[in-house]
Amino acid sequence: MTSKVVLVRPKRFGDERGWFSEVYNESTFRDHGIVDRFVQDNHSLSVPAGTLRGLHFQTPPFAQAKLVRCIRGRIFDAAVDIRRGSPTYGKWVGAELSAENGHQLYIPVGFAHGFVTLEPSTEVTYKVSALYSPANDGGISWTDPQISVHWPLPGGQSPILSAKDDRQPLLRDFASPFEYDGTPLELIEV
């Protein structure tokens, strides 16, 4: 099982009709250390560009690994290491996911996740490894200066946030239930 953030670049096979892509294959993902059993698919629509969702996670025993992809529009997707004792605690990695590039981001347990939409009417789907549990729903402030994610907000605008995301705690006020497993934050591409 990998605890690395993985940028997955599925192959597309195209012709005059369009293209075909295999976006999930258990065997192929296992070959790259992704062995999570995904139990729920989520789908979001963000109408205005600049909609920011995150930074979210679920705590044990309902901690979630995620496999995120953008099926319409473009997003900047970020993962933040929140495993206590990690030498990369509070550090982040990010990637642009779009309907055009077809890339996906795998985010293991122990990382907070968030994204900002770069185009209007952007749709995102993601698989998760545990069912949603309101009692285990958590988050960190998207604007935490300790983390300092470089959100590429369209036109330098302020993000459009939910009330929940506007009041998330800072990392310094968060007692992480996630433990470091010996693998520092690293974005690998497959």
Q: Is 150 a catalytic residue?
A: no
Q: What are phi and psi of 28, to 5 degrees?
A: -65, -45
1 — pLDDT class (breaks 50, 70, 90): low
Question: What per-residue confidence (pLDDT) applies to 156?
Answer: 84
Judge contact between 149 and 62, C-beta under 8 A: no
All residues at 6 or more sequence positions from 123 whose CB lies less than 8 Å from its CB, including other chains: 43, 44, 45, 46, 70, 71, 72, 73
Q: Is 56 a catalytic residue?
A: yes
Among 56-60, 68-72, 183-187, the minimum mean pLDDT is found in 183-187
Could you tell me the pTM of the whole model? 0.95
**Cβ of 15: how many Cβ atoms within 10 Å?**
7
Full set of structural domains in the chain with CATH = 5-189 (2.60.120.10)
Q: Which of 103, 106, 113, 126 is catalytic?
A: 126
User: Does residue 136 sit in helix, strand or coil?
Assistant: helix
Q: Which of 32, 56, 103, 113 is catalytic?
A: 56
How far apart, in whole angstroms, are the C-alpha atoms of residue 83 and residue 89? 6
Reference 189, options 1, 2, 5; nearest CA is: 5
The most distant pair of C-alpha atoms in the chain lies apart, rounded to whole Å, by 54
pLDDT tens-digit map of 126-181: 999 999 999 999 999 999 999 999 999 988 899 999 999 999 999 999 999 999 99
pLDDT tens-digit map of 69-99: 999 999 999 999 999 999 999 999 999 999 9
Percentage of the chain with pLDDT > 90? Answer: 93
